[in-house]
């Protein structure tokens, strides 16, 4: 059996990052090009899958609608009888405005919402939370703040061991995976590691865009960038979620919801398209 997660995050204990990562004697890891390998993470995740409940949303706003309108029915079903949700607004600079936006939406759905940035002790707020929602924004800023506040191991423990429901949108979905290596965001700050919460043993690319053959833009497509990621060894599958996609994970079951298809990239294999309602539970095991 794996040892219990440490009270203070010890990155070497949680992640085998391979020979290309360089460690210092202090808490900072200078993260090179090494992927976050997940053998230990998978073992830990599989042991705790009975309680894992995740709602992973590609985008918070869909064209023609308001904030979280496109997935509000899924939110209500997912959180059910929860009374209060702990919101993590770290991905945006103006946390007060972000918390106000999220609170208005969740109040309209019948939930109270507390923002972790208002808490005197963020770790204590997390320890007593009924449910967690991490919003979108810049993924690098978000992950750095999670590390800075020593919340990475705490979130994993609350979700995987205590069964606290976790919702992520965009950047909040990115950090729920193995690493943030397949985010679309600019690295405006540098977290100590690209290794993320590893609530699932694969990566996600939110806001996935298909190449438009009519476009005169000559830059890399999203598909090309993900394929470049898989040129590196030991890189996990990447589930590309188009706008409107929602992934529901309950224990060992994963189901694609929402109004769009998703595309799965697996190193060394052809890409595969999945329709709404598809069973993606195989992504939660070692065999895929």
Q: Which of 70, 185, 193, 230 is catalytic?
A: 185
Give the Cα separation of 236 and 5 in Å (integer): 23
* Residue 207 annotated as catalytic: yes
Listed as own residue / partner, the contacts of 221-227 with beta carbons closer than 8 Å and 24 or more positions apart are 222/184, 223/265, 223/271, 226/182, 226/265, 227/265
Q: Which of 176, 179, 193, 207 is catalytic?
A: 207
* Residue 74 annotated as catalytic: no
Q: Residue 207: count other Cβ atoms within 10 Å of its Cβ.
A: 18
User: In the block, which residue shows the tokens 């833009």?
Assistant: 217
Show Cβ contacts of residue 238 under 8 Å, excluding neighbours closer than 6 positions.
182, 202, 203, 204, 205, 226, 229, 230, 264, 265, 266
Q: Which of 58, 60, 169, 170 is catalytic?
A: 170
Helix (H) or strand (E) holding 203: strand 203-208
* Residue 179 annotated as catalytic: no
The residues carrying an active-site annotation are: 170, 185, 207
């Amino acid at each position: 059996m794996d040892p219990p997660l440490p009270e203070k995050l010890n990155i070497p204990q949680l992640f085998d990052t391979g020979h290309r990562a360089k460690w210092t004697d202090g808490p900072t890891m200078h993260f090179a090009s090494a992927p976050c390998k997940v053998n230990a993470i998978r073992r830990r995740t599989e042991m705790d899958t009975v309680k894992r409940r995740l709602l992973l949303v590609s985008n918070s706003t869909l064209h023609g609608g308001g904030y979280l309108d496109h997935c509000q029915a899924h939110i209500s079903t997912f959180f059910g009888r929860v009374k209060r949700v702990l919101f993590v607004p770290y991905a945006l600079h103006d946390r007060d405005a972000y918390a106000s936006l999220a609170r208005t939406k969740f109040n309209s759905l019948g939930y109270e919402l507390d923002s972790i940035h208002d808490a005197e002790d963020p770790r204590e707020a997390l320890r007593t939370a009924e449910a967690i929602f991490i919003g979108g924004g810049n993924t690098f800023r978000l992950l750095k703040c999670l590390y800075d506040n020593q919340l990475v191991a705490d979130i994993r423990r609350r979700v995987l061991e205590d069964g606290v429901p976790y919702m992520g949108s965009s950047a909040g979905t990115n950090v729920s995976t193995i690493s943030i290596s397949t985010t679309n965001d600019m690295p405006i700050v540098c977290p100590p590691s690209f290794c993320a919460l590893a609530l699932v043993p694969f990566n996600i690319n939110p806001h996935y865009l298909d190449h438009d053959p009519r476009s005169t833009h000559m830059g890399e497509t999203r598909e090309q960038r993900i394929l470049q990621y898989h040129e590196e060894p030991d890189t996990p599958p990447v589930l590309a979620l188009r706008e409107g996609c929602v992934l529901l994970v309950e224990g060992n079951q994963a189901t694609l919801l929402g109004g769009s298809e998703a595309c799965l990239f697996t190193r060394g294999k052809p890409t595969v398209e999945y329709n709404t309602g598809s069973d993606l539970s195989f992504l939660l095991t070692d065999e895929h």
